[in-house]
Amino acid sequence: MNRHLTHLADGRELVYFDLNPRDHSAKDQRDLPPRPAPSELRHDPVLDEWVAVAGHRQTRTHLPPPEECPLCPGRPWSEIPSAYDVAVFENRFPSFSGPIGRCEVVCFTDDHDASFADLSDERAGLVMDAWVDRTRELSGLDGVEQVFCFENRGAEIGITLPHPHGQIYAYPYVTPRTQRMLTVARPGSLAAVVAEERAGERVVAANDHWTAFVPRAARYPFEVHLYPHRQAPDLPSLTPEERAAFGPLYTGVLRALDGLFGVRMPYVAAWHQAPVRWGREVAYVHMELFSIRRAPEKLKYLAGSESGMGAFVNDVRPEEAASMLRAASGKMGRQITD
């Protein structure tokens, strides 16, 4: 991996990750406004939860035409001056900034029309290397309590830029879902869940280091969890072999997801890893991948029960979802289960 750190016109960091050396001497020549004021963090005493208030995000770029994409390199308005394999930069419109965290954008490729599913095994491995690098770096910042790597894909999910990219949030607190997960967990309990799922009928794909399965109590119509076979707290704790084995399995699952209905599926891909200073002895790093599409022309909307009460109702049996994903993999001519 070749890593190159530089800065954008307003002082934000930009890090290039490339498989082979590239020339990144091009500088950001834009006349940018000053960086926004730090976000405000407010406490909800009813739920004992934190909410970030970031009014400057109302002006963020929203679904520009392809020729004006700020994630394509080398254009006058581009966030990234030169061509790249993977690039990570501080978000210009962050949800968390200043003394209360940080937000970064991860560009998976400079090909505007590609997707993560299109990446070669080497390129997917490079994205993993970037996730590891950024998790390690952001975990060392003052005030950061949790690092969250994720991707939103599809207009149905609410993306603002279609260029293949994800994000990283460095939270100044431990998020509610992680806090609950690790409060419920006991030493060995998550490993026991993974062992049971690996032996069951809901396995979608597997290799020597990872298993992808639809969980027994899936909340979304098509939801796949990807776990390493060895319990590790976070991405930097994975071995080089485990990191390399993730990409081929994951891109296969993504292709199967896209093959279900013959369209690119909207999804959220969320890495769960241990907080910086709490719960690391019971945490088990894994990815949760889920789509809100439940049929070719139907979406699952989070309405009253889900949004109002957090009580999910799934319209698709998890066993059926796993079977459909395995069949989709077979139809595409490439088995993703060894």
Binding-site members for Zn(2+) are 69, 72, 112, 163
289 exposure class (CB count in 10 Å sphere: 0-12, 13-18, 19+): buried
Distance of alpha carbon 224 from alpha carbon 254, whole angstroms: 10
Exactly one of 4, 43, 62, 165 is catalytic; name it: 165
Q: Is the dihedral of CA 299, 64, 269, 144 positive or negative?
A: negative
56 backbone dihedrals φ, ψ, rounded to 5°: -70, -15
For 131: left if phi > 0, alpha if psi spans -120 to 50, otherwise beta; the answer is alpha
Q: What gap in Å lies between CA 264 and CA 262, rounded to an integer?
A: 7
Adjacent-strand bridge partners of 268 = 152, 290
* C-alpha distance from residue 270 to each of 122, 185, 238, 261, 289 (Å): 21, 19, 17, 22, 6
- Known catalytic membership, residue 7: no
Closest CA to 106 of 75, 81, 77, 84: 84
Classify residue 160 by its DSSP letter: S
One-letter amino acid at 36 equals P
Whole-angstrom distance, CA of residue 300 vs CA of residue 315: 8
Q: List residues with catalytic annotation.
A: 165
